[in-house]
Homo-oligomer: A and B are copies of this chain.
Amino acid sequence: MTGIKDVAREVEMSTATVSRALRGLPGVTEETRAIVLEAALRLGYAPSPTAVRLASGQTRTVAVVVPYVTRWFFSSVVHGAEEVLSGRDYDLLLYNLAGSTAARHRVFDTDLLTKRVDAVLVLSLRPTTDELARLDRLARPVTFVGADVPGWATVRIDDRAAARSAIQHLIDLGHQRVAYVGGATEGVLDFSAPADRLSGFRDTLLDAGLTPDPTLERDGSFTIAGGTAAGRSLLDRPDRPTAVFAASDEMAFGVLRAARDLGLRVPEDLSVVGVDDHELADFFDLTTVAQPVQEQGRVAAQQVLAALGAKASGENWQPRQVILETRLVGRGTTGPPPGRRA
């Protein structure tokens, strides 16, 4: 392994000069720089990230904590974050909780992250007070994606508004009995979006003079299978709803399946709306509230890098709450309710 000393020896200069020349710092003749660059290239020199980190005090590494890597939403956010981090020569350290409390504990309640990374991205989780305290002690920029964490930097959508636009769409079509399929509003992996989408759902109905029916609210645990089960229990009854709002596309897919299994036609007998604009939404011709997913990862990464930059140049930096726009994508799973068709 050739090190900076080898290069210095080769060009008969000090390692200080070689270091400066290689990093493009000022105070080096162009001639000197050229000589150094040539020698470094010739010797196949590559600096040791570890040594650079120890000497510079920066890890140039960002931790990304993900509830479940295998879910489309999370892997898409990771994709976005990786894109900007690798572009700025930062390493992305992946921590996949895989839904495990033990893993969550290990990441947040031990010294795992301490001195290991310059910044942290946390996806969708709603941190506990203790976790926030520990993250605070890290004294590093932290950004939450897809969760509302007051006082901290966040990048997300307005979940209430997203639900609202979906419900309003159904109301405009003439639906009066609208069901909700969501996820636990608390639990092992506590997310912040479900509660907001649920209240957006209820409020919009109320605003339209409709009364939310508690018996039309189901837990679909944000999975396809959960959506199918919820859909079945919702639709297999005489007074079934004419429309279902699922708080995620995956649950909406499940509802579509339940409808199909029960012989219901969509949208003639039942309308379905989701949230996400999942890569399969088009495939299922699902009407949904689209949210920019990769973009949230990108923006979050840019945010922590900006914070790091500000820190380095001594500026003071305030955590920002970024809210990205959603938009209703009308497709084939929504239409007027039965008996109200043109």
- On chain A, the number of residues with a Cβ less than 8 Å from chain B's Cβ atoms is 43
**Residue pair B54, A50 in contact (C-beta under 8 Å):** yes
7 closest A-B pairs (Cβ-Cβ)? Answer: A46-B111, A46-B114, A50-B53, A48-B115, A82-B96, A75-B75, A70-B75
A86-94, A191-199, A239-247, A269-277: which one contacts chain B?
A: A86-94
CA distance A330 to B21 in the complex (A): 64
Residue of B with least CB distance to A139: B1
**Residue pair B82, A94 in contact (C-beta under 8 Å):** yes
Task: Scan residues 42-75 of chain A and give those whose CB is less than 8 A from a CB of chain B.
Answer: 46-51, 53-54, 59, 64, 69-70, 72, 75
**Residue pair A283, B96 in contact (C-beta under 8 Å):** no
Residues of B within 8 A of A64 (CB): 94
**Residue pair B115, A49 in contact (C-beta under 8 Å):** yes
A13 CB within 8 Å of chain B:
no
Q: How many copies does the complex hold?
A: 2
Chain B CB within 10 Å, residue with most, of A75, A95, A228: A75
**Residue pair B50, A59 in contact (C-beta under 8 Å):** yes
Residues of B within 8 A of A257 (CB): 283
Please give the distance in Å from A269's CB to the nearest CB on chain B.
18
CA distance A92 to B254 in the complex (A): 33
**Residue pair A93, B96 in contact (C-beta under 8 Å):** no
CA distance A298 to B121 in the complex (A): 25
**Residue pair A50, B115 in contact (C-beta under 8 Å):** yes
Residue of B with least CB distance to A111: B46
